[in-house]
């Protein structure tokens, strides 16, 4: 093989791998990304049942009920709309009513959000960034949301 042929083989191989990688990335981006919404946006967009998304907002005061076998249900609110959520399992250490959370899952046929993951803040200064931004956008942000240690129980 001449130098030119060798170089062409190399470049051809590299382009083939990059093309495969690009195809994989585009395919994965179509199928496996999850959008973030708040209850108001979820109602507005009419997300079909079964489509996975991330729901963020505050846990509504007095809405948390615990059922048998670690089943819990609560309501997530963004000040404008609320959405009922059910979850089975152990809630994060800092899950409390009145605090910001993010949960991931999908709506079922009756319009209840079935979460398979619930994330809460890491410490008293931390409000999930997406939730804080969404609340600010809708004018429901209060500065003390973040600052109150162990608020509301």
Query: Under the rule (CB under 8 A), what is the footprint of another protein?
Result: 1, 3, 6, 9-10, 13-14, 17-18, 20-21, 24-25, 27-29, 31-36, 54, 66, 69-70, 88-91, 93-94, 104, 122-126, 128-130, 133, 149-150
**Hey, what are 58's tokens?**
């505050």
Task: Give the nearest distance from C-beta 144 to another protein in angstroms.
Answer: 14
Task: Give the nearest distance from C-beta 58 to another protein in angstroms.
Answer: 17
Of residues 2 and 110, the one with the C-beta less far from another protein: 2
Of residues 29 and 109, the one with the C-beta less far from another protein: 29
List, in order, residues 6 or more apart from 58 with CB less than 8 Å away.
Answer: 76, 77, 78, 79, 98, 99, 100, 101, 131, 135, 145
Closest CA to 73 of 62, 81, 65, 61: 65
Tell me how far apart the alpha carbons of residues 128 and 57 are, in angstroms, rounded to a whole number: 9
Tell me how far apart the alpha carbons of residues 125 and 15 are, in angstroms, rounded to a whole number: 47
Task: Give the nearest distance from C-beta 55 to another protein in angstroms.
Answer: 12
Of residues 36 and 141, the one with the C-beta less far from another protein: 36
Of residues 46 and 125, the one with the C-beta less far from another protein: 125
Of residues 97 and 124, the one with the C-beta less far from another protein: 124
Tell me how far apart the alpha carbons of residues 113 and 144 are, in angstroms, rounded to a whole number: 28
Closest CA to 76 of 104, 47, 52: 104
Task: Give the nearest distance from C-beta 150 to another protein in angstroms.
Answer: 4
Task: Give the nearest distance from C-beta 71 to another protein in angstroms.
Answer: 10
């Amino acid at each position: 093989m001449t130098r030119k042929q060798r170089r062409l083989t190399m470049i051809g191989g590299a382009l083939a791998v990059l093309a495969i990688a690009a195809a994989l990335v585009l395919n994965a981006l179509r199928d496996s990304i999850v959008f973030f919404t708040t209850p108001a946006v979820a109602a507005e967009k009419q997300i079909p049942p079964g489509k996975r998304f991330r729901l963020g907002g505050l846990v509504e005061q007095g809405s948390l009920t615990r059922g048998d076998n670690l089943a819990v249900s609560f309501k997530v609110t963004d000040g404008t709309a609320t959405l009922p959520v059910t979850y089975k399992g152990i809630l994060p250490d800092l899950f409390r009513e009145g605090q910001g959370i993010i949960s991931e899952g999908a709506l079922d046929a009756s319009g209840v959000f079935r979460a398979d993951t619930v994330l809460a803040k890491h410490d008293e200064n931390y409000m999930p960034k997406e939730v804080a931004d969404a609340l600010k956008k809708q004018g429901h942000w209060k500065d003390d949301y973040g600052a109150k240690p162990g608020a509301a129980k």
